[in-house]
Structure 1
Amino acid sequence: MNDNFNQKQVLQKLEHFCAYQERCHAEVISKLYSLKMAPDEIDNIVVQLIEGNFLNETRFACSFARGKHRIKFWGKIRITNELKARQISSTNITLALKEISAEEYITTFDQLSERFWDSLQEKNNLKKRKKFCDYLLRRGYESNLIYDKVKVLETS
C-alpha cells in the first residue's frame, strides 16, 4: 500500500483527472504507477473508474479523433497511429474515425493543403512539391489524396 495516499484518496484524485479531460486506460494506469500504487490496487481503481463512467475507451477515442481533426487538422492515418500508440482497440479506432464525416474531412484537407501550398516560398517546383507532400503526409493524410491535390494546385 502506498504511504502517501489511501485507495479512496487516489480514486478521488483519478476521478478528477478523468473528469477534467477524456483519458485512455494507458494514461490512467501510467498515472497510478507514478503514484506508486500496487498492481492489484491499480486494477481495482481502473474497474471503479469504468463502473463510475469516468473512464470509457470508446468515448476517449471518438473525442480524440474529433479534436485532433478539427483543432490540429490531422488526417486519418495520423489519428489511427496515435490511437494505436495509446493501445486503443481497432474496433474503437474504427468507431472514432466515423466521427469525422467525409465532407468535413475533404473540406479540412482542401483548406489546409491550399493554405500550405500558397505559403510555400520555394521557387523550384520539385522542391515545392516535396515540401507540400511531406507536410501533408506528416499530418496523416492519404498519399492518393495528396498527389491528386498537388496535380490540381500545380495547374492552377
Structure 2
Amino acid sequence: MHKTYTVEEAKRKLEQYCAYQDRCHAEVLQKLKSMNMISQACDVIITHLIEHNFLNEERFAKSFARGKFRIKNWGRIRIKNELKVRDITRFNLEAALKEIPDGEYIEAFHSLAEKQWDNIRETNIQKKKKKLFDFLIRKGFESNLIYDKLSELAAQS
C-alpha cells in the first residue's frame, strides 16, 4: 500500500525537496509522480513552488553549470547536454553557460589536461594522445581546444 498525500502535504514535502537543493521542473514532476499525485495536483503544486521561488529553472541551470564545472571539471559541451536532458530552455541554458568565465574555463581545461597527461602511463605517444583525447571529450571539452593541447603536450614530450 502506497502512502497517499493531500495537496498540502505534498506541497510541504516538495518545498523541502526544493529547498535542500535547486531542482529542475523534470525532477520535481518525477518526484510528484513517485508520490502518486494526479496531474491536476502536480500542476497546482508546481505553480505554488514557482510562485514561492522554491522552483526556479534559471537558478537551477546556473547553479548546475557552476557546480559541474567547478567540482566535476566538466566542459561546456557536457554541461549543455546534461541540461538539455533535463528539458532546460535554450534561454536558461545560455544563461547557465555564461556563469563560467572564459579565463577560468581555459585555465581549468589546461590544468586538467596537463594533470591527466602526467597520469597516463603509456609510452606510445599516439596511444597516450588518444587516451587524453577520449578523457577530455568525455568531460565535455571542445575538440579544437583538445587538438591544440595535444599538439602542445606531444611537442614537450
TM-score (structure 2 length as normaliser): 0.97
SS in 1 for 2:72: coil
After TM superposition, list the pairs within 5 Å mapping 1:1-156 onto structure 2: 4-156=4-156
Deviation at 1:155, TM superposition (A): 1.1
The SS at the match of 1:71 is: helix
CA contact (8 A) 2:65 2:99 kept: yes
The C-alpha deviation readout for 1:40-91, integer Å capped at 9, x for no partner, is: 0000100000000000000000000000000000000000000000000011
Point out where structure 2 has 5 or more consecutive residues left out of the alignment: none
Give me the CA root mean square deviation. Answer: 0.9
Return the offset for 1:105. 0.2
Deviations 1:80-131 (A, max 9, x none): 0000000000110100000000001001001100000000100111110100
Q: TM-score, normalised to structure 1's length?
A: 0.98
5+ residue gaps, structure 1, are none
Identity %: 54
Secondary structure at 1:106 match in 2: helix
CA contact (8 A) 2:4 2:36 kept: no
The list of structure 1 runs, each at least 4 consecutive aligned residues, that deviate by more than 2 angstroms after superposition, is none
